[in-house]
Structure 1
């Protein structure tokens, strides 16, 4: 090859445009503030409701994210109050009408987190 002949592959191509030039945007300036943070709109919160039963449940607390066995606390539910009212109507006045409030089969069970004491759910009979 002589000095008068051009190289066989030609001149190198120009560099491709940058992303900002290709899209038509402008590169962000420091500090970068996204547009959505400037608008104050409604905030959507989602809560996962755990499935709880009559006994303690092993789960991850949705509030403190700790792996726990729930604390359970029974309390009289609607079934206990209805049964007590029926017993009062048929004549059990002297404390016998309170028996359903002591039976496990008439109790609702509240579940709480032992770590952060947040309410996790209620098992209703």
Structure 2
């Protein structure tokens, strides 16, 4: 069973999870890399979004480009299976509600993300 006496000393795990920092004596460790920058994630929508570019740190309105999304391809396959394969199956690729919107920075041209329908 249990031996009498003090409990065994605490052993730290063999690895530390990402973002883990240990404090000693209640004082957080000094950051050797300089100040910490905290960013918030701005949700991307179907239109241009006002945000700060994480690459060039400029305040921007994103540029958008639309491309057919998964819904357009699935709808086209369903239409083709129903017998309308002479071009009607391509109609979903021309409808804005079936398109994914890709956002990029107009300043540094960095890709910022995609809004999926």
Instruction: Select which of 54, 66, 91 maps to 2:46.
Output: 54
User: In the alignment, what sits opposite 1:97?
Assistant: 89
Would you identify which runs of 4 or more consecutive aligned residues in structure 1 move more than 4 Å? 46-49
- Equivalent pairs counted in the alignment come to 83
User: In the alignment, what sits opposite 2:72?
Assistant: 80
Q: What are structure 2's unaligned runs of at least 5 residues? A: 1-31
Q: What are structure 1's unaligned runs of at least 5 residues? A: 1-35, 38-45
Deviation at 1:51, TM superposition (A): 1.2
User: In the alignment, what sits opposite 1:3?
Assistant: none
Q: TM-score, normalised by structure 2?
A: 0.65
Larger radius of gyration: 1
Deviation per CA, 1:50-83, whole angstroms, max 9, x where unpaired? 3100000011101000010000000000000000
